[in-house]
Chain A
Amino acid sequence: MQVRVECCGVTARFAGAARVQMTLPEAATVRDLFALLSERSSEFAEVLARCACARGDAIVPRGTVLADGDELALLPPVAGG
Chain B
Amino acid sequence: MKVLAVYNLKGGVGKTSTAVNLAYLAAREGRRTLLWDLDPQGAATFLFRIRPKIKGGSRALISGDRPLDGALRGSDFDGLDLLPADFRYRYMDLELDGTRKPTRRLSRLLATVADDYDVVFLDCPPSISLVSESVMDASDLLLVPLIPATLSLRTFDQLTGFVADFDGRRPEVVAFFSMADRRKRLHRHIIESIPRDRGRIADTVIPSTTVVEQMAERRAPVPHFAPKSPVARRYEALWAEVAPAS
Same complex for A and B? Answer no
A binding-site residues for B, Cβ under 8 Å: none
